[in-house]
A = this chain, B = another copy of it.
């Protein structure tokens, strides 16, 4: 392989824009549409790598913001890069760090140079720039790295969105110029533009001119709502190059993933399986269940009948409820595992439906296609937003 990323488009659905593909990196390949569990601080919280692999996950995501602040990207590099650090020999993607600054840090300034903020760990002032984001991501050594962008608040006026797009495009060029390991790591560009079609399309056009090996769609699932998100995807995704992977950042509920696959998106990540799992919230095809509920006290069924995950093969609902009430780590561990497997089984079924030319029917009839916002557990942990 001469380039660090190869995307094979295996097939497209006849009645929708859904695509079946495979991405090959220097650390192995993953099938698309793909779901990436989130390993914020260098671990998928509570789940050892052998169990993550057993969920069918083929690529995981780590957060540049967190690792930059602690333990520091140089430390990760000295320990042999993120693959060794996380003990994940397969593909890894890192984000640019920008989104976490917006959501977690005390921001002092956004300007054309970057973001200046106070660390949520020690209060120190840090300026994150396109160049620094690239340096950090080069140190971490993920297979896919993300351009540093501005994810503008969707409630801001279109003039601000325009300014954020302009900044995102300038930063994209700076990222390309700063990227020191183009033979090892594939840098994806990020489309911004809020819910404005012309802004989105002009952003896409200019990013295509920069010839990234893959493209992400950012600034969605940040409060604009499902209809608006789907509308943006309906014109943004098809405008992206057919022969390159498309990644919808931070999404989402099963309903959202299925809707985005329909528009031609290939890659997803979301903290919901793990965060909800830590809060005793289990995804099932017939709707979510909250394992702290007393009705599960002597329930000898698995979390989800028919699920093949380690938790469902091994433990009863009653035991898992007890683990949560007793404050035992096994509660969060077991539901994180189940929820990741739930997502990966969904992706397997999505890919199979596309392969068999029946994705439209699948999306219309599968009960998981309606699992949405009501399914979100209360966020009790902001660490992996």
Is A328 on the interface with B (CB-CB < 8 A)?
A: yes
Is A325 on the interface with B (CB-CB < 8 A)?
A: yes
Those of A37-67 within 8 Å (CB) of chain B: 41-43, 45-46, 48-51, 66
Is A316 on the interface with B (CB-CB < 8 A)?
A: yes
- CB pair A42 B322 closer than 8 Å: yes
Is A223 on the interface with B (CB-CB < 8 A)?
A: no
Which residues of B lie under 8 Å from residue A374 when comparing CB positions? none
- Among A1-9, A10-18, A84-92, A173-181, the stretch in contact with B: A84-92
Which residues of B lie under 8 Å from residue A45 when comparing CB positions? 328-330
Within the complex, the shortest CB–CB distance from A48 to chain B, in Å, comes to 7
Mask of A328-343 contacts with B, CB within 8 angstroms, 1/0: 1110111000000000
| Interface size class of chain A, counting residues whose CB lies under 8 Å from the partner chain | 35 or more
What separation, in Å, do the CA atoms of A321 and B43 have in the docked complex?
13
- CB pair B323 A43 closer than 8 Å: yes
The contact of A80 among B41, B316, B322, by CB within 8 Å, is B316
- CB pair B80 A297 closer than 8 Å: no
The contact of A300 among B78, B315, B322, B332, by CB within 8 Å, is B78
- CB pair A318 B75 closer than 8 Å: yes
Is A305 on the interface with B (CB-CB < 8 A)?
A: no
The contact of A49 among B50, B87, B314, B316, by CB within 8 Å, is B314
Is A382 on the interface with B (CB-CB < 8 A)?
A: no
Chain B residue nearest in CB terms to A336: B329
Q: A87-B314, A310-B50, A325-B70 are in contact. Are A79 and B319 (CB under 8 A)?
A: yes
Which residues of B lie under 8 Å from residue A86 when comparing CB positions? 319
Within the complex, the shortest CB–CB distance from A218 to chain B, in Å, comes to 26
Chain B residue nearest in CB terms to A337: B48
Q: Indicate how many identical chains form the complex.
A: 2
Chain B residue nearest in CB terms to A328: B43
- CB pair A85 B319 closer than 8 Å: yes
- CB pair B326 A329 closer than 8 Å: no
- CB pair B318 A79 closer than 8 Å: yes
Within the complex, the shortest CB–CB distance from A310 to chain B, in Å, comes to 7
Is A367 on the interface with B (CB-CB < 8 A)?
A: no
Mask of A282-303 contacts with B, CB within 8 angstroms, 1/0: 0000000000000001101000
The contact of A46 among B43, B66, B70, B333, by CB within 8 Å, is B333
- CB pair A41 B318 closer than 8 Å: no
Which residues of B lie under 8 Å from residue A332 when comparing CB positions? 329
Which residues of B lie under 8 Å from residue A48 when comparing CB positions? 51, 310, 314, 330, 333-334
Which residues of B lie under 8 Å from residue A314 when comparing CB positions? 48-49, 87
Which residue among A48, A75, A318, A333 has the maximum number of chain B CB atoms within 10 Å of its CB? A48
Pick 29 A–B contacts, CB within 8 A, sort by A: A41-B322, A41-B323, A41-B326, A41-B328, A42-B326, A42-B328, A43-B329, A43-B330, A48-B334, A49-B314, A50-B310, A66-B326, A70-B322, A71-B322, A71-B325, A75-B298, A75-B318, A79-B300, A79-B318, A79-B319, A80-B300, A84-B300, A84-B316, A85-B318, A85-B319, A85-B322, A86-B319, A87-B319, A329-B329
Known: A45-B328, A71-B321, A87-B314. 17 other contacts (CB 8 A): A41-B322, A42-B328, A43-B330, A45-B330, A46-B330, A46-B333, A66-B326, A70-B325, A70-B326, A71-B318, A79-B300, A80-B300, A80-B316, A85-B318, A86-B319, A87-B315, A327-B383
